[in-house]
Amino acid sequence: MSKTASAMETLILHLTKLPSVGRKTAERLAFHLLRAPKEDALALAEAIRAMRERIRRCSICGNITEDDPCLICRDERRRSDVVCVVEDPMDIVAFEKSEAFEGVYHVLDGCLSPLQGITASDLRIDSLEKRAREGSVQEIILATNPSVEGEATALYLSRLLEPHVKKITRIGLGVPMGGSLEYADARTLKKALEGRTKVE
């Protein structure tokens, strides 16, 4: 039997499922929410509920959005003929913070990994190929992570898309090797974009 009341215990168990939250942190957070003004605690619960109900995927790029297509895809000032391919919607957040990119995105939802059984059909590659085939895309920038899996995915995509797109580039310079784009700072990403190279 647990020593904490059951509603409290339930919350603690849910909190421990969050990334980098251990049992101790979960307990601290739960007791914080208990002592905080009731409106604040309920506002958090409501925010989580609203987020889950309203957020969906953009049907063009796969970004997370409330309205479909997303704000980036609808923005007419952006260059819709330059597509930056990323693994994760979180990477878009990082690129947008850098304010260095005026094109649009395409989210793959991961990268190829034969070891984990992740193949091209598990990723949003079909929809990317379709976008490329439509002929209006002038440049594709491959911004997958600099891991072995990210590199392999970039090489795979460059071969796949070569017949349809004039210019295919890979970000490189400045991105920490073996790192994750999520943790790269804005200046690093800006440099990485400027230093993109043609994929051989």
Partner 1 sequence: MLLRELRARRFRNLREIDLRFPDGPVLFWGDNAQGKTNLLEAIYFLATGRSFRSRNDRECVAWDAPPDEAASVAGQIERADARREIRVVLYQGEKRLFLDGKPLARLAELFGELNAVLFTPADLQIIQGGPSARRRFLDLELSQISPAYLAALQRYNQALRHRNALLRGGRPLERIALDLAPYEAIMAEAAGEILRHRAAALEDLGRRAARAHAEFGAGERLEISYRHFMRNDGADAREDVVEKYRSRLEADRADDLRQGATRSGPHRDDFLLTLDGRSAQDFASQGQQRSCALALRIAEVGLMEARRGEAPLLLLDDVGSELDAGRRTD
Contact residues: Zn ion, CB under 5 A: 58, 60-61, 63, 69-70, 73
For residues 106 and 149, which CB has a smaller minimum distance to Zn ion in the complex?
A: 106
Stretch that binds partner 1, among 17-25, 46-54, 64-72, 113-121 (CB under 8 A): 113-121
For residues 41 and 155, which CB has a smaller minimum distance to partner 1 in the complex?
A: 155
CA–CA dist 91, 187 (Å, integer): 14
Determine which residue in the list 112, 125, 184, 193 makes contact with partner 1, applying CB under 8 A.
112
Determine which residue in the list 151, 172, 174, 191 makes contact with partner 1, applying CB under 8 A.
151
DSSP string, 34-96: HHS-HHHHHHHHHHHHHHHHH-EE-TTT--EESSSS-HHHH-TTSEEEEEEEESSHHHHHHHH
CA–CA dist 44, 51 (Å, integer): 11
Residues of this chain that bind partner 1 (CB under 8 A)? 112-115, 119-120, 148-149, 151-156, 159-160, 177-178
